Amino acid sequence: MKRFNRLFLPVILLLILSATNAMSSTVIKIGVQPWLGYGPWWIAEKLDLFKKHGVEAEIINFTWDADMVAGLASGKLDVIAAATNALIATHNKNVDLKGFLVLDASYQADAVISPNSITSIAGIKGKKVAFEAGATSDLLINYALKVNNMNLSDIEPINMAAADAGLALIAGRVDIAVTYEPYISTALKQDSNYHILYTAAEKPGLISDVAVSTGEYIRQHPDVIKALTAVWDEAVNYLVKHPDEGGKIIADAVHSPMDEFKVAMQGVQVYNLAENQKLLGGEFQQAMKEISLIMLDTNPKDMGSMPNIDNLLATEPVLGK
């Protein structure tokens, strides 16, 4: 019997070590766009926080929100940082996606920009308006039109990536652009004849982002999801304690000068774990209901029906239950 134990002890130890290191042996592919609110992921990458928490991760940049969502749905990505409204819309198309962490909320950092001669949303009637369909810009322009007794039929929508919309406005290819930072600051720096017409601050809670994965992936890899939650928490707390160092990492990632970044970041709130625990206690779910109602009202054809908010979230990694 002792001989049997000695013979298989190395094999048993190897199996134990393999199980222990299983979480770190697979590269977790995380899709993001160059948005300031996703900055803590770049901080985590720069400071090796993924390895610290037992996972290996690759941050993959996308230009189009739809491509990122498609990558997750097809299994080419494991996790994405996505707009809350994109999660809602995709889930309503019977794709099993769930948000497991609230990343950020945007206020002045999502905006409609226009020539100085236009001073109200009513003034964009009949204009060519560039925005990315399905992204935060889509939700913002629809909400702005709705509260001004207008809808998409009152403008000429031009589907364009947020990264291109601002510069297309300055170049004269469109009349109005809906985009987010750092593209707002980049565009306005080019020409003083343009200004911010309307921002997400008009409706706090309208624009937010979540970490999203498939329901199957979350069920099969709970340890990975918990580790990513811990990584995000540490990265956000680092940014709070070291705003210059953390800010520089984010600014470099989105190719923004530090002076522009500091101004732009004032319109963004990123959330650590403690803040998530408060938000996911019910406040964020209520915000998701409001967003869903706005989407249903402004775009009923694509939205279809009101979603069950509980089915959109996996709160266990944050709430522990």
DSSP string, 74-136: TTS-SEEEEEHHHHHHHHTTT--EEEEEEEEEESTTEEEEEETT--SGGGGTT-EEEE-TTSH
Mean of pLDDT values over 15-20: 38
**Residue 78 confidence (pLDDT):** 97
**Residue 181 confidence (pLDDT):** 92
Q: What is the pTM of this model?
A: 0.86
CB–CB of 141/185 below 8 Å?
Answer: no
Q: How do residues 159-206 score in pLDDT, each as one tens digit? A: 999 999 999 999 999 999 999 999 999 899 999 999 999 999 999 999
Q: Quick one: pLDDT band at residue 321, thresholds 50, 70, 90?
A: low
Burial of 310 (0-12, 13-18, 19+ CB in 10 A): exposed
Q: Which position has the higher pLDDT, 256 or 12? A: 256
Helices assigned H by DSSP within 194-256: 215-220, 222-241, 243-253
Ranking 9-18, 21-30, 38-47, 151-160 by mean pLDDT, the lowest is: 9-18
Residue 274 confidence (pLDDT) above 80: yes
CB–CB of 32/60 below 8 Å?
Answer: yes
Nearest of 210, 203, 188, 178 to residue 309 by alpha carbon: 210
Q: What are phi and psi of 4, to 5 degrees?
A: -60, -45
Residue 149 CA to residue 298 CA, distance in Å, equals 11
**Residue 299 confidence (pLDDT):** 82
**Residue 301 confidence (pLDDT):** 81
Q: Residue 5 CB: number of other CB atoms within 10 A?
A: 9
Q: Residue 173 CB: number of other CB atoms within 10 A?
A: 15
Q: Quick one: pLDDT band at residue 28, thresholds 50, 70, 90?
A: very high
Residue 115 confidence (pLDDT) above 60: yes
Tell me, what amino acid is at 306?
A: M
Q: What are phi and psi of 207, to 5 degrees?
A: -110, 120
Strands 128-131 and 156-159: parallel
Residue 290 confidence (pLDDT) above 70: yes
Asked whether the CA dihedral 157, 140, 233, 244 is positive or negative, the reply is positive
Q: Which position has the higher pLDDT, 58 or 18? A: 58
Ranking 41-55, 143-157, 191-205, 289-303 by mean pLDDT, the lowest is: 289-303
Residue 215 confidence (pLDDT) above 90: yes
DSSP string, 160-175: --HHHHHHHHHTTS-S
Q: Provide the token pair at 211.
A: 């970490």
Residue 66 confidence (pLDDT) above 90: no
What is the overall mean pLDDT for the chain? 90
Structural domains of the chain sorted by starting position, each given as residue range(s) with its CATH number in brackets: 2-106+206-319 (3.40.190.10), 110-202 (3.40.190.10)
Q: Quick one: pLDDT band at residue 10, thresholds 50, 70, 90?
A: very low
Q: Give me the percent of the chain exceeding a pLDDT of 90.
A: 81
Q: Give me the percent of the chain exceeding a pLDDT of 70.
A: 92
**Residue 19 confidence (pLDDT):** 39
Mean of pLDDT values over 107-127: 97
Q: Quick one: pLDDT band at residue 65, thresholds 50, 70, 90?
A: confident
Residue 18 confidence (pLDDT) above 70: no
Residue 104 confidence (pLDDT) above 70: yes
Mean of pLDDT values over 113-124: 97
- Rg of the chain, C-alpha, whole Å: 21
Q: Quick one: pLDDT band at residue 6, thresholds 50, 70, 90?
A: very low
Q: How do residues 237-266 score in pLDDT, each as one tens digit? A: 999 999 999 999 999 999 999 998 999 999
Q: Which residues contact 320 (CB under 8 A, 6 or more apart)?
A: none
